[in-house]
Amino acid sequence: MKKIFLSAAVLSMTTALSSAAYADYSLTILHLNDLHSRIESINKYDSTCGADDEAEGKCFGGIARIKSKLDERRGALSGEGKNVLVVDAGDQFQGSLFYTTYKGDAAAEFLNGMDIDVMAVGNHEFDDGPEALANFIGKANFPVISGNIDVSGEASLKGKVPGILIVEKGGEKIGIVSALAEDTAETSSPGAGVRFIQAEDYLKGAVEGLEAAGVNKIIAVTHMGLPRDMEIAAAVPGIDLIIGGHSHTLLSNTQEKASGPYPVIVQNPEGKDVPIVQAYAYGKFLGEIDVTWDDDGNLVKAEGEPILLDASVTPDEAYLARVAELGAPIEELKAKVIGSTEGVIDGDRGSCRTGECQMGNLVADAMLDRVKDQGIQIAIQNGGGLRASIDAGEVTMGEVLTVLPFQNTVATFQLKGADVIAALENGVSQVEETKGRFPQVSGLKYSWSRKNEAGKNRILVVEVMEDGEWKPIDPEKVYGVVSNNYMRGGGDGYKVFSEKGMNAYDFGPGLEVVVADYLAAKNGYKPFTDGRITEQ
């Protein structure tokens, strides 16, 4: 995970915001982001937690724990006469067998029972096309909003995704605006009928409209990622607070691995401090930020801390029972042992989106092994397609599916060496933002430097394994490439695959099946990195 370093001047703003002795209106926001269908509790590797670990108190999160802590905090705050707003900053979809089996239906059911006030659309809400999002919205009894997407050209969503919400809490009107990452067409499957607008352009108009209507307390619930949230805060006047998601960033004043303080403070164009918060991902934390406005609508206090949902939080019994009921049909598949590993296979987001990682090597090697008899020499897998680590010992099909939840299939094509290099350039072009396009590879080795211009000259050396030895890639030679169908179609910015790929063939087997078969054949896999990707 990328560290965010803040200057002393920026850090001092937190103190300034917290020093107000009096103001007339306070609101506490309880917030979630990027649950990614982790309906069951998770272990320290963010994958599904086993019954033994749960019994030993080693698990975190899970929808039943979230429900329990949310009810507890909302009840306590309301009992003190405080105003409470509950928000979800998106990406309920995708990430476990619960999504594979139930799509958005399970998420809608559980969120309905949690009485949330609003949810932002995340990019993964489009993973099964606009119709799946429309189905979710139809079942949700809470507003699902996103302002910088134009759905007028998509029949299933037309008129169903508002951009602005006004809620009343304690006699005061709170304006809520929302924006979604503009590259969602590359990272998901929104379809041709959904158009994305630059977030700053939309938000400026939305805020001006709220202010003209007399609303002077405005919160942005975004799914943009912390770096973009900081840019938005600095560019758009009138936003008082940003509740974010997408980058899975842990902001905290107490957690050892936090990427920054909670909240991060950025000055807007008028010189006012804008606090930004995010609460990691996968339901491990429940964010809680308390903010206060003065009589003129100026934010004068913002303080809080995400709550770790560990074993000290007793799961809600009714939710726990419903999770077990929904999980029964998929338990047999999840429990099937398909192999073993001698150590933890690291699939951490921070590892696989910034450099060579053990899970990337496993998946890329498994893909290449599956199609090597088809004249394929190179495998390229996006780091963002790897969603968890695997613990040492027996490996179950459920664990593999947690790592590879997208139901991607193996796809092959031919590509000139120059286009392979262009693909790698795309892959390392957004590493500073920890984007999922980072290329994990097999049959290929490359070195790169982030010191050079993104998208241009970051790739320094590329070699291909040929006849048992490494040879410099030939820009004019045509190579056989294997990837997943999502990337083959241009996903994650790999347009060169869809535009320049020749003889493309969606070979067919699911990526999770390919990896499971590879692990089974190894009969005791040993995780490794071997220097196939180096940063200069």
Nearest to 184 by CA among 213, 151, 219, 216: 151
Write the CA distances from 126 to 187, 249, 329, integer angstroms: 9, 21, 25
Q: 446 and 348 share a domain?
A: yes
Q: What is the pLDDT of residues 38-76, one digit of tens each?
A: 999 998 878 788 889 999 999 999 999 999 999 999 999
Residue 2 lies in a domain: no
Is 328 inside any structural domain? no
- Has residue 7 got a pLDDT over 70? no
In a domain, 154, yes or no: yes
Q: Do both 303 and 165 map to the same domain?
A: yes
Reported as a single tens digit per residue, the pLDDT across 141-157 is: 999 999 999 999 999 99
Model confidence pLDDT, tens digit, residues 173-225: 999 999 999 989 877 889 999 999 999 999 999 999 999 999 999 999 999 99
Mean residue pLDDT across the chain: 93
* 46 plus 136 within the same structural domain: yes
Looking at residue 137, the DSSP 8-state letter turns out to be: H
- Asked whether residue 260 falls in the same domain as residue 377, the answer is no
Structural contact between residues 322 and 310, judged by C-beta atoms closer than 8 angstroms: no
Residues 60 and 108 in one domain: yes
Alpha-carbon dihedral angle through residues 193, 198, 202, 203, given to the nearest 10 degrees: 130
Residue given tokens 């200057």 in the structure block: 7
| Inside any domain, residue 329 | no
Residues 281 and 360 in one domain: no
- 38 with 114, same domain: the answer is yes
pLDDT for res 508: 64
Q: How far apart are CA 18 and CA 291, in angstroms?
A: 9
Detail the DSSP E strand segments found in 334-451: 337-341, 378-382, 393-396, 409-416, 439-442, 444-448
Determine the average pLDDT of the residues in 428-433: 96
The answer to whether residue 360 sits within a structural domain is yes
A 10 A CB-CB count for 463 gives 16
Q: Which residues pair with 448 in a beta bridge?
A: 459, 535
* Amino acid at position 131, single letter: E
Q: What integer pLDDT is reported at residue 17 of this predicted model?
A: 52
Tell me the CATH number at 357.
3.90.780.10
Domain count for the chain: 2
For residue 327, tell me if it sits in a domain: no
Dihedral of the alpha carbons of 101, 103, 105, 108, in degrees to the nearest 10: 130
Dihedral sign for Cα 483, 486, 492, 496, please: positive
What mean pLDDT comes out for the span 245-262? 94
Q: Is residue 166 part of a domain?
A: yes
57: tokens are 């108190």
CB 310 within 8 A of CB 42: no
Euclidean distance between CA atoms 420 and 152, whole angstroms: 37
pLDDT digits (tens, 9 = 90+) for 336-366: 999 999 999 999 999 999 999 999 999 999 9
Q: pLDDT class for 19, splitting at 50, 70, 90?
A: very low
Cα separation of 159 and 151, whole Å?
8
CATH of the domain at 201: 3.60.21.10
Q: Are residues 444 and 370 in the same domain?
A: yes
pLDDT band at 1 (very low <50, low <70, confident <90, very high): very low
Residue 95 within any structural domain of the chain: yes
Together in a domain, 314 and 341:
no
Considering the domain architecture, whether residues 278 and 132 belong to the same structural domain is answered as yes
Show which of 322, 355, 372 is a domain's final residue: 322
Domain span holding position 480 = 336-535
Of 110, 112, 125, nearest to 36 (Cα)? 125
User: Among 298, 322, 346, which residue terminates a domain?
Assistant: 322
